[in-house]
């Protein structure tokens, strides 16, 4: 009987990294807020900010600006680094590049842990918060952890099980948000900022040890490893060639359309978080803070469970693009219902309608990895992770500007715009399905075939374990 643990590879890596990152996010925002207040005002004002509204607004504005600086210090270097790390990992393996983000996360958490101490909270200038952010960015951050984990999974899976495995990996992104935000709030309320940053450091240390000791490497061509161990500027061109390279059966066009589908997915799902709190606080709905938290948790957790439990079953009978189309239809319905919501019940109904929302994201990672060759996996996922990072800025610019303009006439217009975008994605995946050459499922007809498969898989697992 097969040990199910042997199929667990990079899922804990992404779960631990994103849990630590999301656990830190609201806490570091509060740390910056307190540093700004106590460094430029006396304690009596900061302890009673409700009585000094002009000071409170000024501190909030400054804190928002500094958090934007931190985001740029993390995102900009990470995007630049990923141009090199993706193709580099195609040559030297995934494990070493995968270790970089946990090290950056450790330094990032350490910088805030020191600054959260009572003796340093007031004495260390707020500018020093950028030091840890730059360390996080130049060591890859979210961009590199995404490209290396998905590339590793593409290396150790077959085309038959890749979609199922990548859907489970994608679900880790959502589950980590539920754990990180929930546990982080409890730790802050009971133990303070210091413990949260210490826990995040511990997660990054465990993650590093897990990557280095648990994950093996796929056997690669020895000549390629010898001659391509150094990072050079040609890697940038190799990354861009993934998109420009001519491929059979309209593969290049399919790949570009799939990039656009995932860009739309990331753009819209990030956009919801930008405006949802304002939308639900309108007098027509007036959702309480606790109910808003429960709604957001359910909206994230339900699609993750469908990804982990239902998609692996459906993938046995439906093609990748059919499953992606189901996800697109679910997303269209969810955003349309959200656009016309006038009470909490309608918002809660969006959780059920959007239960298949994650299918599009979970399936298409595997679909794209099947289009490119083995030595292009890192380059392809580096482009994808860069697009997802860029959506954070683009989404904030689009939806934060549209919402106030359309608020007086149709507050749900941004959600309707998201529904239209997903309709475009639906058209793309349906066209890809119709234009792809028919590939029947492989059926073994000889008694020796299962034995051959078993020997091949055993050899593959030994290769990975001995890395």
Question: For residues 177 and 51, what is the distance between their CA atoms, to the nearest angstrom?
Answer: 34
Q: What is the pLDDT of residue 1?
A: 46
305 vs 392, residue with greater confidence: 305
Report residue 192 as tokens. 């303070």
Q: 450 in a domain, yes or no?
A: no
Across the range 275-296, mean pLDDT stands at 76
284, exposed or middle or buried, with CB in 10 Å at 0-12, 13-18, 19+? Answer: exposed
Q: What is the pLDDT of residues 138-173, one digit of tens each?
A: 998 888 898 888 888 888 888 777 777 888 888 888
Dihedral, 68, 71, 75, 77 alpha carbons, nearest 10: 90
Across the range 175-183, mean pLDDT stands at 79
Q: What is the pLDDT of residue 287?
A: 77
Q: What is the pLDDT of residue 437?
A: 65
- Angle of the 289-305 helix axis to the 358-371 helix axis, nearest 10: 40
The answer, yes or no, to whether residue 353 has pLDDT greater than 90, is: yes
Is residue 272 domain-shared with residue 354, that is, in the same domain? yes
Q: How many other CB atoms are there within 10 angstroms of residue 210's CB atom?
A: 15
Q: What is the pLDDT of residue 43?
A: 66
Q: What is the pLDDT of residues 304-329, one digit of tens each?
A: 888 888 888 888 888 888 888 999 99
Characterize 226-243 residue by residue with b for buried, 16 or more Cβ atoms within 10 angstroms of its Cβ, and e for exposed.
eebeeeeeebeebbeebe
The answer, yes or no, to whether residue 223 has pLDDT greater than 60, is: no
End-to-end CA distance of the chain: 24
Q: What is the pLDDT of residue 52?
A: 61
Is residue 117 domain-shared with residue 246, that is, in the same domain? no
Question: For residues 242 and 380, what is the distance between their CA atoms, to the nearest angstrom?
Answer: 6
Is residue 212 domain-shared with residue 238, that is, in the same domain? no
Q: Domain end: 168, 190, 217, which one?
A: 217
Q: How many other CB atoms are there within 10 angstroms of residue 373's CB atom?
A: 13
Question: For residues 434 and 202, what is the distance between their CA atoms, to the nearest angstrom?
Answer: 49
Q: 56 in a domain, yes or no?
A: yes
Q: 84 in a domain, yes or no?
A: yes
The answer, yes or no, to whether residue 272 has pLDDT greater than 80, is: yes
Instruction: Give me the CATH number covering residue 94.
Output: 1.20.1250.20
Q: Domain end: 192, 217, 242, which one?
A: 217
Q: What is the pLDDT of residue 455?
A: 44
Is residue 137 domain-shared with residue 269, that is, in the same domain? no
101 vs 14, 146, 190, 194, 279, CA distance in Å?
Answer: 10, 10, 29, 21, 35
Q: Look at the chain and count its residues.
A: 467
Look at residue 69 and give its three-state secondary structure: helix
The answer, yes or no, to whether residue 212 has pLDDT greater than 50, is: yes
Q: What is the pLDDT of residue 198?
A: 92
Query: Which residues fall within 8 angstroms of residue 147, CB to CB, at 6 or more apart?
Result: 82, 85, 86, 89, 378, 381, 382, 384, 385
Q: What is the pLDDT of residue 310?
A: 87
Q: 456 in a domain, yes or no?
A: no
The answer, yes or no, to whether residue 270 has pLDDT greater than 70, is: yes
The answer, yes or no, to whether residue 336 has pLDDT greater than 60, is: yes
Q: How confident is the model at residue 129 (pLDDT cuts 50, 70, 90)?
A: confident
| pLDDT, the chain, mean | 78
The answer, yes or no, to whether residue 293 has pLDDT greater than 50, is: yes
Query: Which residues fall within 8 angstroms of residue 126, CB to CB, at 6 or more apart?
Result: 32, 35, 36, 39, 66
Q: 460 in a domain, yes or no?
A: no
- Please tell me which of 88-97, 152-161, 269-278, 346-355 the model is most confident about, judged by mean pLDDT: 346-355
Q: 70 in a domain, yes or no?
A: yes
Q: How confident is the model at residue 104 (pLDDT cuts 50, 70, 90)?
A: very high
Is residue 245 domain-shared with residue 205, that is, in the same domain? no
The answer, yes or no, to whether residue 82 has pLDDT greater than 60, is: yes
Q: What is the pLDDT of residues 19-39, one digit of tens each?
A: 998 888 777 777 777 777 776
Is residue 160 domain-shared with residue 23, that is, in the same domain? yes
Q: What is the pLDDT of residue 185?
A: 72
Look at residue 192 and give its three-state secondary structure: coil
Is residue 240 domain-shared with residue 199, that is, in the same domain? no
- Angle of the 141-156 helix axis to the 162-191 helix axis, nearest 10: 140
Q: How confident is the model at residue 83 (pLDDT cuts 50, 70, 90)?
A: confident
Across the range 273-291, mean pLDDT stands at 75
Is residue 209 domain-shared with residue 266, that is, in the same domain? no
Query: How many domains is the chain built from?
Result: 2
Is residue 4 domain-shared with residue 42, that is, in the same domain? yes
Lowest mean pLDDT among 48-57, 121-130, 162-171, 213-222: 48-57
Look at residue 114 and give its three-state secondary structure: helix
The answer, yes or no, to whether residue 296 has pLDDT greater than 50, is: yes
Q: 187 in a domain, yes or no?
A: yes
Quote helix, strand, coil % in the chain, to nearest 5: 80, 0, 20
Q: What is the residue whose two structure tokens read 């959200």?
A: 338
Is residue 75 domain-shared with residue 194, that is, in the same domain? yes
Is residue 432 domain-shared with residue 314, that is, in the same domain? yes
Q: 199 in a domain, yes or no?
A: yes
Is residue 385 domain-shared with residue 307, that is, in the same domain? yes
Q: What is the pLDDT of residue 277?
A: 73
The answer, yes or no, to whether residue 443 has pLDDT greater than 70, is: no
Q: Domain end: 217, 250, 265, which one?
A: 217
The answer, yes or no, to whether residue 200 has pLDDT greater than 90, is: yes
Q: Which domain holds residue 90?
A: 1-217
């Amino acid at each position: 009987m097969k040990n199910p643990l042997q199929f667990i590879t990079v899922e804990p890596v992404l779960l631990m990294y994103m849990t630590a990152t999301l656990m830190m996010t609201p806490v570091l925002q509060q740390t910056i807020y307190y540093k700004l207040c106590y460094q430029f005002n006396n304690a009596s004002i900061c302890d009673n900010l409700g009585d000094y509204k002009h000071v409170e607004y000024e501190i909030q504005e400054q804190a928002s600006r500094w958090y934007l600086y931190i985001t740029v210090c993390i995102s900009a270097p990470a995007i630049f680094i990923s141009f090199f790390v993706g193709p580099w990992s195609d040559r030297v393996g995934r494990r070493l590049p995968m270790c970089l983000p946990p090290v950056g996360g450790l330094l990032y958490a350490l910088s805030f842990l020191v600054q959260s101490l009572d003796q340093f909270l007031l004495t260390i200038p707020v500018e020093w918060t950028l030091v840890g952010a730059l360390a996080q960015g130049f060591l890859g951050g979210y961009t590199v952890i995404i490209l290396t984990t998905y590339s590793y999974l593409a290396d150790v899976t077959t085309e038959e099980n890749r979609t199922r495995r990548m859907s489970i990996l994608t679900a880790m992104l959502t589950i980590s948000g539920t754990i990180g935000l929930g546990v982080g709030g409890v730790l802050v309320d009971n133990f303070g900022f210091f413990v949260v940053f210490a826990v995040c450091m511990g997660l990054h240390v465990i993650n590093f040890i897990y990557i280095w000791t648990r994950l093996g490497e796929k056997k690669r061509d020895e000549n390629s490893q010898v001659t391509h161990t150094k990072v050079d500027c040609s890697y940038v061109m190799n990354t861009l060639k993934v998109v420009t390279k001519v491929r059979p059966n309209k593969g290049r066009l399919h790949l570009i359309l799939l990039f656009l589908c995932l860009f739309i997915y990331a753009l819209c799902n990030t956009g919801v978080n930008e405006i949802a709190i304002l939308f639900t606080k309108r007098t027509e709905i007036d959702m309480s803070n606790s109910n808003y938290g429960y709604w957001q948790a359910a909206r994230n957790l339900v699609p993750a469970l469908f990804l982990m439990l239902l998609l692996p079953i459906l993938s046995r009978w439906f093609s990748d693009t059919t499953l992606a189309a189901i996800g697109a239809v679910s997303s269209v319905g969810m955003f349309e219902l959200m656009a016309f919501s006038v009470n909490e019940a309608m918002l809660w109904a969006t959780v059920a309608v959007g239960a298949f929302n994650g299918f599009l994201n979970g399936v298409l990672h595997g679909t794209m990895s099947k289009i490119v060759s083995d030595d292009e996996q890192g380059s392809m996922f580096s482009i994808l992770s860069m697009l997802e990072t860029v959506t954070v800025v683009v989404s904030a610019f689009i939806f934060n500007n549209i919402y106030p303009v359309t608020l007086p006439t149709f507050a749900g217009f941004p959600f309707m715009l998201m529904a239209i975008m997903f309709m475009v994605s639906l058209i793309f995946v349906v066209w890809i399905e119709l234009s792809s050459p028919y590939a029947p499922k492989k059926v073994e007809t000889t008694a020796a075939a299962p034995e051959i498969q078993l020997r091949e898989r055993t050899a593959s697992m030994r290769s990975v374990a001995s890395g």
